[in-house]
Structure 1
Amino acid sequence: MSNQGSTGNVLAAICSFFIPGLGQLVQGRLMKAAIHFVLCSLLWIILLGWIVHIWSIWDAACWKPKS
């Protein structure tokens, strides 16, 4: 299991840096990945996608699996 700050979360955050939602997908969170990807894609059209993009990176980096 990944802990906050673990190598897995750092890798997930890097993945989300390049493609929003990819980090969540790497962590096995399919629905969250789809939400991040679709929301960011739609918002980039009106130039606000960077907000969701940063949220996606932060979410992947800080995720803690339920025990």
Structure 2
Amino acid sequence: MAGQGSGGNVIAAICNIFFPGLGQLVQGRILSALIFAIIVVGGYALWFLIIPGVIAAIAHLWSIIDAAKYRSDSRYDRS
């Protein structure tokens, strides 16, 4: 990724709108993708308890913002 605000981050954020964690997966961050997906999907599945649904909605929004603001560490970037 080129950095914050790059086209790749915009695409990753758009991917997260449709499925939480997909944007992190596109960026190559597998662990954070799994964590976001589990929290959000699990919370939405328990929507009738209200609190897990609210937490899931917050985590979903967080995953979108996280993908949009991601900046890779240039020391480890091989491009």
TM-score under structure 1 normalisation? 0.93
What are the ranges of 5 or more consecutive residues in structure 1 without an aligned counterpart? Answer: none
1:54 and 2:61 correspond:
yes
**Residue number in structure 1 paired with 2:77:** none
Shift of 1:43: 1.5
Larger Rg: 2
> RMSD value over aligned CA atoms?
0.9
Which consecutive segments of 4 or more residues in structure 1 shift more than 3 A? Answer: none
Report the number of matched residues: 67
AA matched with 1:47: G
Indicate the percent of aligned positions where both proteins have the same amino acid: 49
Does 2:37 correspond to 1:31?
no
> Which structure is higher in RCO with an 8 Å CA cutoff and minimum separation 6?
1
1:24 Cα deviation from its structure 2 partner:
0.1
Flag structure 2 segments of 5+ consecutive residues without an equivalent: 47-51, 75-79
Task: State the secondary structure of the residue aligned to 1:58.
Answer: helix
Q: TM-score, normalised by structure 2?
A: 0.80
